[in-house]
Amino acid sequence: MSFVIVSYISKVLSVELFGLVNYSQAIILYFNLLTLFGFQTLGVKEVTKSEEKDEIVYSVISIRLIIALLSICAVASISVFITKGNSFRTILLLYSLTLIPLSFNLDWFFAGIYEMKHNGVFNIIKVTIPLVIILCILKDDSGVYIIPVAFIIGLIAAGTYHIFQFKKKGFSFGNKNRNKRKVLFTIALPFVMSSILSTINGNVDTLMVGAFLSEYELGLYSGAYKLIFLLISMIAVLFNVIYPNLTKLKGQELNSFFGMLTRVVVMFAIPTAIGGFIFSEEILILIFDKKFSEGSITLKILMIYFMVLFLRELCAYSLNAWGKEKIYLKVIGISALSNIIINYFLIKKIGIEGAALSTLICEIGTFILMAFNIREKVELSYLKEAIKILPNICFVTVFMIVFKLVNINIVIIIPIIILMYFGILYKTGYLNTLGKFLK
């Protein structure tokens, strides 16, 4: 549904205004992370091991709400100095209001008590309501303000569902413990710093494209990056689900689970990146519009970045799960600083392709450093798993190239390739790993 929202908005809005909407989202993303304050990961660990769940929830929400209100004031101040026009300023301010309902997000709590179904419903509500509102009201550039308003309404409705389920289980927001709040605030600082640095590493390119290039180029880059962002969101769903297992498993059990997870990651990361690379232009036209086709080279580079990031995220979540937050923070800090410097020079020299290339270079460096730091605890077998599945991927890649050359419609190609790929995995027995992992 998020996919449909992005696609519809890109088709209805001009490239320039689409770029400004995404630029405002890129800015608000940092305040989202500041408001969430690292409790998406830390909160899961605390809820899993603690009996004082009510106190934890009250403390987390109260911390988040204070930060959200301060963040709205900060966004209002920042908007005065951004020279993108009044429309952009209004969009940015409206998006900042999403921080208040975001404070009441309890997905970390339900992950901690192993009731993921409520998070599934939360996510469906969160995107279904904006989807309906946007499809019904947004028809051209003049209705752009309905986009952030729709997301505010969606978050309020989804948050209400979470709170209802929380109270239904007999929990309460009334168990106040100031000392607990101070402790959680202190131990959450490395998590929120890591999240912000990680986001700088991931989307500083969009911010710098917006700062140095035209609104049109920003729109083209936003189209390519938005697709990558949607793919990354799917990765987050996967790793949020397996995160509790990474925190509690030890010894051989951990090695076995990690090996299985490595195989699943390789199974999806490599062919997705190859498919996106080959059909970059066709995908942009299908999802967005012909007006975004100029961003195809940028998308090719970003698809490789997506593959590396998918492989790297397993290392990142593992470091946080195993109490190595300081190592994670150092690595991300180095990468974020490098990304800003390299982006500055490459964007100035080659435009939006330079932004994508900078992001890829820094992601490769981050992956290498993180992989090095987890080898002492588990065996990292990416190369071995890639070699095992390489014949299957090569077989499917040949067909993708043939389909590309004979100019078959991408809508037909995608389901054929997916069925073909999973058919080969089934025949070779590789699909058994996926079945075991899902169980």
Instruction: Name which residue leads in pLDDT, 141 or 175.
Output: 141
Task: Give the whole-angstrom CA distance, residue 385 versus residue 378.
Answer: 15
- Which pLDDT tens digit goes with each residue over 197-255? 777 877 888 889 988 988 899 999 988 988 888 888 888 778 877 777 787 778 788 88
User: What's the pLDDT score for residue 147?
Assistant: 95
Cβ(19)–Cβ(219) below 8 Å: yes
**Residue 429 three-state SS:** coil
- DSSP per residue, 325-344: HHHHHHHHHHHHHHHHHHHH
- Assess whether pLDDT exceeds 70 at residue 71: yes
With a pLDDT cut of 70, the percent of the chain lying above it is 98
* C-alpha dihedral (383, 389, 390, 392), degrees to nearest 10: -170
Give dist(CA 300, CA 365) in Å, integer: 19
Task: Give the DSSP letter string of 1-21.
Answer: -HHHHHHHHHHHS-HHHHHHH
Rounded distance between C-alpha atoms, residue 63 and residue 117, angstroms: 26
Q: φ and ψ at 214, to 5 degrees?
A: -75, 165
pLDDT tier, 176 (very low <50, low <70, confident <90, very high otherwise)? low
Quote the pLDDT of residue 430. 79
Confidence of residue 173 (pLDDT cuts 50, 70, 90): low
Q: Distance (Å, rounded) from C-alpha 59 to C-alpha 146? A: 33
- What is the pTM (predicted TM-score) of this model? 0.80
CA separation for the pair 418, 271 (Å, rounded): 10
Q: What number is the average pLDDT over the span 89-109? A: 91
Q: What is the pLDDT of residue 199?
A: 78
The CA distance from 116 to 118, in Å, is: 5
pLDDT of residue 51 exceeding 80? no
pLDDT for residue 358: 94
| Chain segment 395-407, per-residue pLDDT in tens | 999 999 999 999 8
Q: Residues near 377 by Cβ (< 8 Å), separated by ≥ 6?
A: 254, 318, 322
Higher pLDDT, 286 or 201: 286
pLDDT over 70 (residue 175): no
The mean per-residue pLDDT over the stretch 262-282 comes to: 93
Residue 174 pLDDT level (bands cut at 50, 70, 90): low
Report residue 358 as tokens: 């900078």
pLDDT at 306 over 70: yes
- DSSP code at position 143: G
